[in-house]
Amino acid sequence: MIKPGLTVHRLELFLAVLDQGGVGRAAQACHISQPAVSEHLRGLEAHFGVRLVERHGQRVRATAAARVVEPYARQALALLRTAQQAAGEVRGLRAGSLTIGASTTPGTYLLPAALGRFHATYPGITLRLEISDTRDIERSVAVGRLELGVIGEAPLVPGLAAEPWVKDELVLIVPRGHAFARRRTVTAHAIAGEPYIAREEGSSTRGVAERYLARVGVTLTPAMELGSTEAIREAVAAGLGVALVSRHAVLARDRRIVAARLAGPRWTRDLRIVRRLGTPLGPAAAAFRDLLLERP
């Protein structure tokens, strides 16, 4: 009996089902019919000789075998993308695509300008910026779904190479009418008496802030957790509390809030470029990395 073929398309659909959490959503994301996705899944299961998904009504759950196959599928597709981009090098980067992953601070406030410079040089390359929390970006780079990421602290996931890009400083932001707004510096202990607004768990900004405060013996329990720096800035402007954010996130034109330094040693961190160890960057990703390092 001839074994069903292993195709790139089937691997892509298999990963789409895992990422989207269902056949229907995968079909919608990939712009094909739901029966076609199911048929390709069955072909892939026949090729490997194992069940890859278990169906529960409208949703599917990955089997243990699927979790074994998944990282190899991601690596195989990542290598194929690299090969396609390498072919693009012959064409002088006149065509192709590049997706960059970033945590919130670099993704929102720094990378758009860099992407603009890259587009001006290579207008034929389609660019996409994926913004998520630091740990999500690390995992995506580690499994080969993304070639490059820019995050707010040293990576925790093994198998990643990291290099410093730009310096960042975390500052305290308060409403303009707040008593702290008239101070040049504020002690960490003083913040403990204020309603504290924080990013969600997994945010590098929150992680760095908590480690810094722990060193000076301060533990803050957030009165509110918000999923973006913009939401935090709006909450502070509305007088709901104070927050610790990147200096890059403090817009000079926003007269509703004031930034103050923390008393003591400067509280800085490196924003870092991360990629997979042992996997060469494709031409577009390599060119973008060079652009970042040449002009932060």
Q: Which domains does the chain have, with CATH numbers?
A: 1-92 (1.10.10.10), 94-160+277-294 (3.40.190.10), 166-270 (3.40.190.10)
pLDDT at position 2: 62
pLDDT band for 224, please (50, 70, 90 cuts): very high
The answer to whether the CB of 158 falls within 8 A of the CB of 248 is: no
Phi, psi dihedrals of residue 4, rounded to the nearest 5°? -60, 145
The answer to whether the CB of 289 falls within 8 A of the CB of 215 is: no
**Residue 120 scores a pLDDT above 90:** yes
Q: What is the pLDDT of residues 136-154, one digit of tens each?
A: 999 999 988 899 999 988 8
**Residue 91 scores a pLDDT above 80:** no
Average model confidence (pLDDT) across the chain: 88
pLDDT at position 164: 94
Spell out a b/e string for 107-143, using b for 16 or more CB atoms within 10 Å of the CB, else e: bbbbbeebbeebeeebeebebebebbbbbbbbbbbbb
pLDDT at position 234: 93
pLDDT band for 208, please (50, 70, 90 cuts): confident
In the predicted model, what is the mean pLDDT of residues 184-205?
88
pLDDT band for 131, please (50, 70, 90 cuts): very high
Beta bridge partners of 198: 225
Residue 183's closest CA among 193, 170, 173?
173
pLDDT at position 252: 65
Q: 10 Å Cβ neighbour count for 237?
A: 16
Cα→Cα distances 288→62, 69, 139, 147, 252, Å: 35, 31, 20, 11, 28
pLDDT at position 58: 64
pLDDT at position 93: 80
What pTM does this model have?
Answer: 0.67
Amino acid at 131: I
The answer to whether the CB of 168 falls within 8 A of the CB of 152 is: yes
Phi, psi dihedrals of residue 276, rounded to the nearest 5°? -80, 135
The answer to whether the CB of 195 falls within 8 A of the CB of 271 is: no
